[in-house]
Amino acid sequence: MSPATHEDGTTPVRVLYIGGCGRSGSTLLDRMLGELPRFVSTGEVRFIWQRGLLENQLCGCGSPFRECPFWQSVGEEAFGGWDTLDAQDLVALDRALDRHRYIPLLVAPRLSRGFEKRLARYVEVLGRLYGAIDRVSGGACIIDSTKDPPFAFLLKRVPGLELRIVHLVRDSRGVAFSWTKNVRKPEDVKVARFMNTYHPVEMGLRWVVYNTCFHVLGRLGIPRMMTRYEEVVSSPRRELQRVVSLLGDEVGEESFGFLNGRGVELGVHHTISGNPMRFQRGTISLTVDEEWKTRLKPAHRRLVSIFTFPLLLRYGYLWPARSRQ
């Protein structure tokens, strides 16, 4: 890839943001892209302060965050070491900005002088972080699978970033059912902790809000493409090629050697947070998870279908849609 050079002669830091609702296959897409040349899989970067610095959770490589050579190098490059930062302060700063209710201010920060000052401070830190990831990875495109819309609005404000969005969607009924499951967090090695669970109707409403936000980002001028989880799993090569095309480049057939029939060969990636499958290595079977069709309660299925009907129709889940953009 040959990213454009800014007028001042600097090369932009390329960030490919996977956005959408949780349990839509973002970790899988992140890792598959990370197998391509000149891409680096980093997981959910937003959580680096809490889950990395404070809790020292496991990196996708299996090492505790502070012992991971990749992230150690990033910390040294960006800040002269992670210990120079006040992690508690950064977590508080993130929480003061990275909320759905603050999206209007992320679009027009001048409406609040206090918010504008906090935003300026945070984007400076994020600029240094992503710039360091860029240099440590040798200029690879950074894949950030944070998913949350507010963080994408934040990254839009970071100078020097060339932001692209892969809007990943999954059938709302599948998402709603998945969030009723008890899934253990393998990165918490000292105690058994589980990911949050939510009522299907609540997740249906969240699904609408999250996906609508990424349509708004597209309207604001951020280059964006949409793909469906079901197609990422059933036609991975085609969908990966579409993602690469969003960056204005192509990859040769030889780059897809990690795709093997109905499986994918995944190596080690230095991911921050994400689905537990980020720790799996070797051949992973690619099968569309449609368990919801038999296990989601009929009443919940009807309610979720009603609340999410317009976007289900638009995305082609009820019958083929004219446009998936």
CATH number of the CATH domain containing 151: 3.40.50.300
pLDDT digits (tens, 9 = 90+) for 97-148: 999 999 999 999 999 999 999 999 999 999 999 999 999 999 999 999 999 9
- For residue 290, report the phi and psi dihedrals to the nearest 5 degrees: -120, 30
Q: Which residue has the tokens 């934040």?
A: 154
Is residue 324 domain-resident?
no
Average pLDDT for the chain: 93
Question: Which tens digits make up the pLDDT trace of 261-279?
Answer: 789 999 999 999 988 999 9
Whether 50 maps to a domain, the answer reads: yes
Per the domain annotation, does 6 fall within a domain?
no
Q: What angle do CA 102, 161, 69 make, to 5 degrees?
A: 100
Domain presence at residue 320: no
State the residue range of the domain holding 244: 13-314
In the chain, % of residues over pLDDT 70: 93
- Phi-psi group of 38: left, alpha or beta (phi > 0 → left; psi -120 to 50 → alpha; rest → beta): left
Check the CA dihedral 293-294-300-302 and report its sign: positive
10 versus 253: the higher-pLDDT residue is 253
- Asked, for residue 3, whether it belongs to a domain, the answer is no
In a domain, 1, yes or no: no
pLDDT value, residue 182: 77
How many domains, the chain? 1
The verdict on residue 121 lying in a domain is yes
User: For residue 232, what are its two tokens?
Assistant: 């990422």
pTM of the model: 0.94
β-bridge pairing 263-266 and 259-260: antiparallel
pLDDT in tens, 281-311: 999 999 999 999 999 999 999 999 999 999 9
In a domain, 25, yes or no: yes
pLDDT tens digits, one per residue of 49-87: 999 999 999 999 999 999 999 999 999 999 999 999 999
Burial class (CB in 10 A: 0-12, 13-18, 19+), 253: exposed
